[in-house]
Amino acid sequence: MGETNYNCLCANCLTELESLVNDNHNLRRTLNPQNLLEGVHFYKEDGLFVFTELYHYLKGSCCGNSCKHCAYGNKN
């Protein structure tokens, strides 16, 4: 899984993303390891954890590190 599923802007994908954001809205302030779901907030690639756009969005701001799936447009 090199890319997350949220690159599509069709109505179905936007509805799914909106649902995930709404379901995880309370995690904005408590993004800690026990709350994260593999495939939703992160995935593993070459033994590393890669955070998804949803995770970065829930973080609330861009860290400026050009993350692979930056939700704020600062991709590397």
Q: Provide mean pLDDT across the span 28-42.
A: 77
pLDDT (mean) for 37-51? 90
What is the C-alpha to C-alpha distance for residues 76 and 70, in angstroms, rounded to an integer? 9
Q: Is the pLDDT of residue 24 over 70?
A: no
How sure is the predictor about 75, in pLDDT bands with cuts at 50, 70 and 90? low
Q: Global pTM?
A: 0.60
CB 62 within 8 A of CB 74: yes
How does the average pLDDT of the chain come out, rounded? 77
Q: Is the confidence at residue 3, as pLDDT, over 80?
A: no
